[in-house]
Chain A
Amino acid sequence: MLECCEKHAELYNELEKYIKSLEGKKGILINVLHKAQELFGWLPQEVQEYVAEKLNISPSTVHGVVTFYNFFSTKPKGKNQIKICLGTACYVKGADRVMERFLSELGVEEGEVTEDGNFSVHGVRCLGACSMAPVVLVGEKDFFGKVTPDMVPTIIKKYKEEGK
């Protein structure tokens, strides 16, 4: 359970601080969920209930919003999130085959986390770097452009080594 450990208590504290900083503003649920996901990595039911309580809205409303938007995840994600752009430019340049290679190399399904918790693979909406198509983004900042399926093992290796 999440409540059990101190680290989470800290995260809840920080979330509460953030909610307080928004006092007086209207329609802040999505902002709060962004913050919560940033802190916890995903949005487990407990966190959703906590947000509902703090904002004085029903948990079902929170859940409705969480599941509506692609960005919010109700499942944990890997330490390294591999995001494969599935925008049009990337698609016509073979992003589907890059995706397949990632899944087969890591032995997971889309959205699933590898056993060691190191990776998860996600197909994402257009990242807006269409001239580098196909594009892969690892984490928030590491862009790989003009990716071919053959480059996939090298990309994975890079993060495996960093993890050690």
Chain B
Amino acid sequence: MHLTTNTILICAGGACISSGEESVKEALERKIKEYNLQDAIEIVETGCMGACSLGPIMVIYPEGIYYQKLTPEAAEKIVEEHLLKGRVVEEYLYQGDKDKLIPQPQKEIPFFSRQVKIATRNLGVIDPLNIEEYIARDGYFALHKALKEMTPEEVIKVIKDSGLRGRGGAGFPTGLKWEFARKSPGDEKYMICNADEGDPGAFMDRSILEGDPHTIIEAMTIAAYAIGANKGFVYVRAEYPIAIERLSAALNQAREYGFLGENILGTDFSFDIEIRIGAGAFVCGEETALINSIEGERGQPRVKPPYPAQKGLWNKPSNINNVETLACVPPIIINGPEWFRQWGTEKSPGTKVFALAGKVKNTGLVEVPMGITLRELIYEIGGGSPTGKKIKAVQTGGPSGGVIPEEYFDTPVDYESLNNLGAIVGSGGMIVLDEDDCMVDVAKFFLEFSVDESCGKCTPCREGNKIMYEILDKITRGEGTEEDIELLEKLGNTIKDSSLCGLGQTAPNPVLSTLRYYKEEYLAHVRDKKCPAKKCRDLISYVIDPEKCVGCTACARVCPVNCINGEVRKVHEIDQSQCIKCGSCIEVCRFGAISKVSPAIE
């Protein structure tokens, strides 16, 4: 290993890649080579650093200077100024309130400093493709401890005592699940990792797999030892090609180092892992559907019981854990259950990763102790609204979850508290909604998703959700009645009670929770044909304010159906009979002269 003067950590998480990380890295390399510094400066591509709205991001050590929103030009300038001359390039630093420049926001800004990273401890810190960097961060120490110093029962006890609960959505105690699989008779058992992260708006599993694949391999091996399995599967979504690529590379390295395969670490325990790629079916996140899919069949859920712990993959006892759950396992084994319990609440110990998205300033991945309030999460960490518009609610748990209105933002985030509000922690997606979001429309969006993803096996889910969707569609078109609203409630509760699997049992949640808190919005659509958020297209019209219009013709030029009339420097007018309500005009108007009104103008 050669000595370097600087190390550059550049985030190669999904959001940074999509905002141009690769060209930034190429520019860095090019410029560094130009000055012949390639031996003195090391560039490491890491997993997701979490602050996705700032991407592409890099941190330059030893100083720990944090550069954000980079471009290839920025990278060149940073090489010439920072690396060559030791001068921090201010224009790419993080800007705090009142434009204060903050070179090390990771120490000062709540978005970073309030986080406690357990599952995401290595994200943005190590090169995911370098097993030695993982080992340097105590990687595979937990495996060593478990295999050499603990019996399977002791491993299970530690996980049980830690109170770790399934992070995929249901929150079932992980240790208990392991114990069921351990006690289930059979000499052939399977350990499965559920990486079929399908909740729209949640991307923590993707980030962990891409940024720290070895932690999943280590945790699965520990779990396999605990339950007595010799064969494991990771079921990954096909939508995550980078995760698949990095996990495959990590599996090969782990085999090379003897952490996988025959006689792991010289013990008589053998275990290996195979990757199975999903094919785009949300229901496969349900464990029995996932099992069917690994078997190469249609991913339809099975009737439970028997549970997978008794009859799982190929009817053998199987244990299934989600990615984030597994990522918590190695640190718990090393540090003990009490260590994990210092965070979180009595019933929901530890931390949870949330994906903040929607109408919030700091979007990205944050790992925080359970029990933090929604207000802290959305305003302190998330930075509140990016536009100054009023935040109305937060949607948690995706298509299985519900909305929580702003009045309840002081609720602690834990499994029970959110359930009481009609929402769920779910996999940790948090979509912040503001006054422009119509609750009926949001409910319709999620239901459309569930209808599309229903596997069709049981009637309540297949037919019931479809009828609910049709009613919602009617309401958003202004054709609904008050009886429709009652029917929605009744149907929703019936579907919850009578569906076969988790998908159907939770699909009505977005509707029921919006009905619970925003019934007046539903009634406005029905009674007054009015969409208070001015979102539902059939219930709005676009109008030009003659006082504000200067006749610049920008709107008329952009209108795809040529329905805006008016001469240069004269007030323009929209022909309502032709308008398709595409909203293009409102975007180009620089004078704020165009607005939406509801109900629609006849």
Residue numbers in A under 8 Å from B558 (CB-CB): 150
9 shortest interchain CB distances as A-B pairs: A143-B18, A131-B52, A87-B200, A70-B280, A69-B279, A128-B203, A29-B296, A131-B363, A71-B280
Q: Are B357 and A71 in contact (CB under 8 A)?
A: no
| Of A31, A33, A68, A69, the contact of B276 (CB 8 Å cutoff) | A31
Q: Does B182 touch A at the CB level, under 8 Å? A: no
Q: Closest Cβ of chain A: how far from B244's Cβ, in Å?
A: 11
CB distance from B204 to the nearest CB of A (A): 9
B201 cross-chain contacts in A, Cβ below 8 A: 87-89, 126, 130
Query: Are A140 and B241 in contact (CB-based, < 8 A)?
Result: yes
The 19 listed contacts between A and B (C-beta, < 8 Å) are A26-B295, A26-B314, A27-B295, A30-B277, A64-B298, A65-B296, A68-B300, A71-B278, A88-B358, A88-B395, A92-B442, A93-B358, A126-B203, A126-B239, A128-B14, A129-B15, A130-B201, A132-B15, A132-B55
Query: Which of A92, A125, A130, A140 has the most C-beta atoms of chain B within 10 angstroms of its own C-beta?
Result: A130
B241 to chain A, nearest CB (A): 7
Distance of A25 Cα from B19 Cα, bound (Å): 39
CA distance A92 to B437 in the complex (A): 7
Tell me how far the C-beta of A86 lies from the nearest C-beta in chain B, rounded to whole angstroms. Answer: 8
Q: Tell whether B198 is near chain A: CB-to-CB under 8 Å.
A: yes
Pair A131/B238 contact, Cβ less than 8 Å? no
Contact A92 B295 (CB under 8 A): no
Check A125 against B282 for contact (C-beta < 8 Å): yes
Answer yes or no: B587 CB below 8 A from chain A CBs.
yes
Q: Mark A79-103, 1 if CB is under 8 A from B, else 0.
A: 0000000111101110001001000
Task: Check if A107 is an interface residue, CB within 8 A of chain B.
Answer: no
List residues of B whose CB falls within 8 A of some A CB.
Answer: 14-15, 17-19, 52-53, 55, 197-203, 206, 238-241, 274, 276-282, 293-300, 314, 355, 357-359, 363-364, 395, 398, 429, 431, 433, 437, 442, 445-446, 455, 558, 560, 582-584, 587-588
A127-164 CB contacts (< 8 Å) to partner B: 127-133, 135, 140, 143-145, 148-150
User: Are the C-beta atoms of B587 and A148 separated by less than 8 Å?
Assistant: yes
Is the Cβ of A128 less than 8 Å from the Cβ of B206?
A: yes
Contact partner of B240 (CB less than 8 A), chosen from A65, A70, A128, is: A128
Name 7 extra pairs, CB < 8 A, besides A68-B300, A145-B18, A149-B587: A27-B294, A33-B279, A70-B279, A88-B201, A89-B363, A129-B14, A130-B355
Q: What 0/1 pattern do residues 23 to 45 of A give for CB contact below 8 A with B?
A: 00111111101100000000000
Which positions in A face B, CB cutoff 8 Å? 25-31, 33-34, 64-65, 68-72, 86-89, 91-93, 97, 100, 104, 124-133, 135, 140, 143-145, 148-150
Among B14, B52, B53, max chain A CB count under 10 A is at B14
CA distance A34 to B274 in the complex (A): 16
Q: Which residue of B lies closest to A67 (CB)?
A: B298
B259 to nearest A CB, angstroms?
A: 22
CA of A130 to CA of B198 in the docked complex: distance in angstroms?
13
Among A127, A128, A129, chain B packs the most CB atoms within 10 A around the CB of A128
Check A126/B364 contact, CB under 8 A, given A68-B281, A88-B429.
no
Total contacts A-B at CB 8 Å: 146
Inter-chain contact B279/A72, CB cutoff 8 Å = yes
Distance to closest chain B CB from A46 (angstroms): 20
Query: In whole Å, how far is A147's beta carbon from the nearest beta carbon of chain B?
Result: 11
A34 adjacent to B279 (CB under 8 Å) = yes
- A131 cross-chain contacts in B, Cβ below 8 A: 15, 52-53, 55, 357, 363-364
A91 to B584, CA, bound (A): 17
Nearest A residue (CB) for B299: A68
A65-B297, A126-B199 as given contacts; A92 in contact with B433, CB under 8 Å: yes
How far does the alpha carbon of A86 sit from the alpha carbon of B293 in the complex, in Å? 24
**In whole Å, how far is B404's beta carbon from the nearest beta carbon of chain A?**
15
Contact between B357 and A143, CB atoms less than 8 A apart: no
* Closest beta carbon of chain B to A56's beta carbon, Å: 13
Given A132-B19, A143-B17, A145-B19, decide whether A126 and B587 contact each other with a Cβ distance below 8 A: no
Contact status A127-B239, CB under 8 Å: yes
A70: which B residues are within 8 A, CB to CB? Answer: 279-281
How far in angstroms is the closest Cβ of chain B from A26? 7
Closest A residue to B398 using CB positions: A88
What is the distance, in angstroms, from A47's C-beta to the closest C-beta of chain B?
15
Q: Is the CB of A34 within 8 A of B238?
A: yes
Residues of B within 8 A of A34 (CB): 238, 277, 279
